[in-house]
Amino acid sequence: MVQAAIEANFTCSCGSPFIVMTLDASPNDKITALLVCPRHKVGHHITLDHSGLDLWIGAVADHLYRCAVCGRELAPPTAVSSSEVATSFTLNCPVHGTQNNTRTVWSVLHKRILSEIQQRRAPYSPEETTAPPPELKTKPAVESSETKATFCPECGKKIRPQDNFCFICGSAID
């Protein structure tokens, strides 16, 4: 229930996922995020409570590494420019290149976001990362969040039910 409410903060009224453009520290243990809808191209600010970091960090990780033009999920950058205060980087969309894809994130928070992504990739052992043979795959009569596909439809690697995209190949998970 709480996760659904948090995810609602990162979704535009049109249904498009907001793209996190900046994350800055603000007074009173708060973090200000500038979000942009790729469809409307309009900025929207939200304030996140630093003490609730564990609740919203996953949503931020899901929405930070997306193209601001089309909303496509992208891999985290390999090159970043960092200072004590902020980390800046530019994402490269295969369709739109670097157009409107520069991000600025509070340095401490960027390290935590990258750690979150690494944790999402880590929990699977090699024998769990390959899809079962087709004869073993069965589709449940009713699909719930607990029975949602556990393997990427593109590469066959293991995913968690709450993942929005495959952390191996980057494909969106419906």
Which tokens sit at 118? 């690494």
Instruction: Please state, in angstroms and as integers, the Cα–Cα distance from residue 35 to each residue in 21, 26, 127, 142, 160, following that order.
Output: 6, 16, 38, 34, 26
- Torsions phi, psi of 153, nearest 5? -70, -20
In the predicted model, what is the mean pLDDT of residues 137-144?
46
Of these ranges, 3-7, 105-109, 129-133, the one predicted with the greatest mean pLDDT is 105-109
Q: Is the pTM of this model over 0.75?
A: no
Confidence label for 7 from pLDDT (cuts 50, 70 and 90): confident
Q: Helix (H, G, I), strand (E, B), or coil: what is residue 127?
A: helix
* Residue-level pLDDT at 122: 60
Strands 102-106 and 19-26: parallel
- How many beta carbons lie within 10 A of that of residue 33, not counting itself? 23
Report the DSSP beta bridge partners of residue 44. 35
pLDDT, tens digit, 9 for 90 and up, residues 65-82:
999 999 988 888 878 888
* Average pLDDT over all residues of the chain: 80
* Residue-level pLDDT at 145: 45
pLDDT, tens digit, 9 for 90 and up, residues 34-56:
999 999 888 899 999 888 888 89
> Which tops the pLDDT comparison, 62 or 148?
62
CA distance 153 to 131: 9
CA distance 41 to 149: 32
